[in-house]
Structure 1
Amino acid sequence: MVVQRILVLDGSPAGEQASGTAACVANNAGQLHVLAYRQEAGKQAAEGVSLLAAEVLQQAGWSHAQSTAPDLVAVVVGPGSFTGLRASCAAAAGYAVGVGCPVVGVTRAEALAPELDAILAAQAEKVAGWLVVTAARRGRVFVEDAQGARAVTVADWVPPAGTWLVAGEACSELAFPSVIQSHVSHPDVKQIAVAALKRVEGELPPRSALPLYVDPPEAKLPANGLRAAPV
């Protein structure tokens, strides 16, 4: 599959960092170029990422009618804002179905991994690994490494032994006996596109464009059970 046009969507940032992002990224023989980019802050922007997508598609001149629709849609699936993830993943899946192109999910750490691995390789001292720490709610943070993501209560945090490279906007929330704090906080659209291309090419395992919900569902079944099916 030749991928020349990538639509990138991201509504994952949570809390004070909540935002929505859409971009059109052109792939020219492995060289990525951002042709159009829109980012707005706030929860409403994350929920309305489909509107941002429409704007960047128009700016880039990409459309199904002109046979210049994206070849691939890439969406950040988390961890992050519950509402932002639902909205951006739904927009990505809907657009991909509409134009008949593939859609893949990318986590924050998957997009940041190449940069973090490069930082590790440049360290003179031995470093145990890297962690990406992002904002959550209720005194917690999301912690993601190469194996996956989990929610951590800051007050109950038990730091792992050794020196760690820590990135993400909430990296200062967790204490470590020895730490290297990275300036990296969130992947840019090129990094997201690179991870998506790796997924399409089989360098990363498959991941659907479904929200990566770290927490269990908060909804509870009614005390008397569900209503009977209509007749």
Structure 2
Amino acid sequence: MKNDKTILVINGASASEQAPNFISVVVKDQIYRLECEKKSFERGAPERFPIYFNEFVRNGYLVANKIDLISIIIGPGSFTGLRASIAFSLGLQTGLHCPVVPLRRGEAIFPYIEKDYSGKLVWHMTLARRNRVFIETNQKSEIKAFDFVDIPWPEEEVILSGEAFPIIKPLIPTKVNWRKSSINEADAVMMAKIADHYDQGDKVTNKLYPLYIDPPKASLPAGGLRKAPK
């Protein structure tokens, strides 16, 4: 197993101003070091990841065929951003024969939160459509969607994190025993460390796809369907 690594980190999941999308290069020598990064809160940023990648190469921060590992968020979050970023990762994986480690947003952050709150229940919350929230917990490897008013608040103390927290905070019932995590979302170095740990445990994959939790609903156009051609 190679000790020194160049790790490309990709997160195109965010759909709010609470967390940026980013593409980054993290170099592992004796430590994990952020070599370069492009963050953006703008809509459509994940679709520009290939452009940012080319800038990294052109400016000498990265040699494309020297990437050892790709760490990518597969959800939950913006399905448009996830599709774009995952498609880009699949292209790199195929062209460069580079292993990829897919991560959920909570999965990428829980080990770091648990260092400060050992044994505590931790939630990661992501905004969804139609006044809903995706909740991932550190006690189960599952993510569920809830209406804001139907969140099943636990009786035990819960540590809260994620981009949805500022929206959810005013809705938390007074009886809930909660604390806000000092870490809201995983950064590039955090993602690189988790991916490298998985890579050493042979938890890489060639199957990448966006994480479906609350699939989009199709509806008829307001004017109805056009008549079939004769």
TM-score range, shorter chain: 0.7 to 0.9
Partners of 2:101 and 2:19 in 1: how far apart?
Answer: 22
CA drift at 1:22 = 0.9
Residue 63 (structure 1) aligned with residue 63 (structure 2)? yes
Aligned residue pairs, count: 215
- Contact 2:16–2:163, Cα closer than 8 Å, also in 1: no
Q: Distance in 1 between matches of 2:198 and 2:207?
A: 10
Change (3 A) 1:59 1:33: farther
Q: Which residue of 1 aligns with 2:105?
A: 108
Give the superposition deviation at 1:76. Answer: 0.9
Give the structure 1 partner of residue 91 of structure 2. 94
Secondary structure class of the residue paired with 2:44: helix
Question: Which residue number in structure 1 is paired with residue 137 of structure 2?
Answer: 145
TM-score normalised to structure 1 length: 0.82
Give the alignment's TM-score, normalised by structure 2: 0.83
State yes or no: 1:134 paired with 2:140. no
Matched residue, 1:226: none
Q: Which amino acid aligns with 2:136?
A: E
Supply the distance in 2 between the matched residues of 1:148 and 1:175 (Cα, whole angstroms). Answer: 22
The CA deviation at 1:203 is: 7.8
For the 8 Å contact 2:131–2:147, the answer to whether it is kept is yes
The answer to whether the 8 A contact 1:35-1:60 is kept is no
Cα distance between partner residues in 2 of 1:186 and 1:203: 25
User: In 1, distance between residues paired with 2:122 and 2:19?
Assistant: 24
Please give the secondary structure, in 2, of the residue aligned with 1:197.
helix
Matched, 1:83 2:84: no
Cα deviation for residue 97 of structure 1 reads 1.2
Using a 3 Å threshold, how does the CA distance of structure 1 residues 208 and 107 change in structure 2: closer, same or farther?
A: farther
Q: Is the 8 A contact 1:135 1:141 kept in 2?
A: yes
- Please give the secondary structure, in 2, of the residue aligned with 1:25: strand
Report the counterpart of residue 114 of structure 2 in structure 1: 117
| Alignment-derived partner of residue 223 in structure 2 | none
Deviations 1:181-205 (A, max 9, x none): 1132211000111111122122868
Task: Tell me by how many angstroms 1:69 deviates.
Answer: 2.0
Q: What is the aligned-residue identity percentage?
A: 31
Shift of 1:33: 0.8
The correspondence for 1:165, drawn from 156, 159, 162, is 159
Query: Kindly tell me: are residues 57 and 210 of structure 1, through their superposed partners in 2, closer, same or farther at Cα, counting changes over 3 Å?
Result: farther
Contact 1:134–1:142, Cα closer than 8 Å, also in 2: yes
Match of 1:229 in 2: none
Which runs of 5 or more structure 1 residues have no equivalent in the other structure?
122-126, 222-231
Kept after mapping to 2: 8 A contact 1:4/1:28: yes
Measured in 2, the distance between the counterparts of 1:207 and 1:157 equals 35
State the alpha-carbon separation in 2 of the partners of residues 203 and 113 from structure 1. 20
Aligned partner of 1:224 in structure 2 is none
Q: Which residue of 2 aligns with 1:11?
A: 12
2:228 is aligned to none
Work out whether residues 161 and 181 of structure 2, in 8 Å CA contact, stay in contact via their aligned partners in 1: yes
Q: In structure 2, what is the equivalent of residue 200 of structure 1?
A: 199
Which consecutive residues of structure 2, in runs of 5 or more, have no partner in the other structure?
A: 221-230
Aligned-partner Cα distance in 1 for 2:19–2:45: 8
Q: Once the two structures are superposed, what CA deviation does each residue of 1:26-59 show, in whole Å capped at 9, x if it has no partner?
A: 1114x11111111122122122222222222333
